[in-house]
Homo-oligomer: A and B are copies of this chain.
Amino acid sequence: MEAYNQVGIQRRLRRFFRRDGRALIFAMDHGFEHGPTDFEGTWEHINPNVVLKKVIRAGIDGIMTLPGIARIAGKQFHGKDVGLMVKLTSKTNLRPKEDQFLQTPLGFVEDAIKLGADAVAATVYWGSPYEDVMMKNFAEVASIAHDFGYPVVQFSYPRGPYINEKYGKKEDYRVVMYGARAAAEMGADMIKTYWTGSKETFAKVVDAASGVPVLLSGGAKAENPLEFLNVVYNVIEAGGSGAVVGRNIFQRENPEPMIRALLRVIHKNEEPEEAAKAEGLL
């Protein structure tokens, strides 16, 4: 017999993951973490109602955003079959450099429940001088969310002055793998992390997560669409469960072909070139 919250966690996870256990999630927290300048090239997307309408129409599986955006654009979700993941921590890039290795709570699990969310998320910068603070905060968020039957997503990002010093870059697979493992050992239900550069190394990240789904963090807009589709293709090949994509979507005037191409790669195992051509991206 299943616990009530176990039923809720499974039901809510399936609001993101299709039957194949994979998902494409749109990220819209850039206005906070990077500032509105991320939207300079496609300014109308600064309005979450505009960009979310396009993205949902294109068939995205889920949306990840901050509480205030979920409120402003709440009506975009009504009656739509799209998962809502509310992120509960952030930071600006205005704060002093050394404080940017810390993410701060900007809402609570209860806020996500009120908003009708299907999952909550919080960031841990592994290796940061503030690792201690974010780790404890994640533990608290996870405990409350799980009690209410909500899955918890860790944005598991190695980051901080010592990471670069010791490993050369934060995307080194040894530290990405480490962060993913730490997330799994803390009870995360999904892990979002960096691309490690190759299918082989990303497969080790997936191994380290020991069954907890690993999603790619989309990162900066790729120069050409094929480049990004290739990364996502390799994530899937490596056993990853999909991608959380922001700039590669909203920094395009018309994000819909890119979304549809990504859905082809993720859910139909189409080759990137084939998918890109089918959607007129090449």
| Given A178-B35, A185-B106, A187-B107, A211-B72 contact (CB < 8 Å) | yes
- The answer to whether B7 touches A107, judged by C-beta atoms less than 8 angstroms apart, is no
- The answer to whether A116 touches B7, judged by C-beta atoms less than 8 angstroms apart, is yes
Instruction: Work out how many copies of this chain go into the complex.
Output: 5
In the assembled complex, which residues on chain B have CB atoms less than 8 Å from the CB atom of A99?
129, 131-132
Q: A5: CB under 8 A from chain B? A: yes
In the assembled complex, which residues on chain B have CB atoms less than 8 Å from the CB atom of A13?
1
How many chain A residues touch B (CB < 8 A): the figure is 105
Q: A280: CB under 8 A from chain B? A: no
Q: A168: CB under 8 A from chain B? A: no
- The answer to whether A106 touches B72, judged by C-beta atoms less than 8 angstroms apart, is no
Question: Contact mask A209-238 → B, CB, 8 Å, 1/0?
Answer: 011100000000000000000000000000
Majority secondary structure of chain A interface residues (helix, strand, loop or mixed): helix
Q: In the docked arrangement, what's the CA distance between A241 and B50, Å?
A: 22
What is the minimal beta-carbon distance from A160 to any residue of chain B, in angstroms? Answer: 7
- The answer to whether A143 touches B110, judged by C-beta atoms less than 8 angstroms apart, is yes
| Given A36-B178, A113-B148, A114-B8, A2-B92 contact (CB < 8 Å) | no
- The answer to whether B46 touches A210, judged by C-beta atoms less than 8 angstroms apart, is yes
- The answer to whether A139 touches B107, judged by C-beta atoms less than 8 angstroms apart, is yes
Contact of A104 (CB < 8 Å), options: B95, B136, B184 = B136
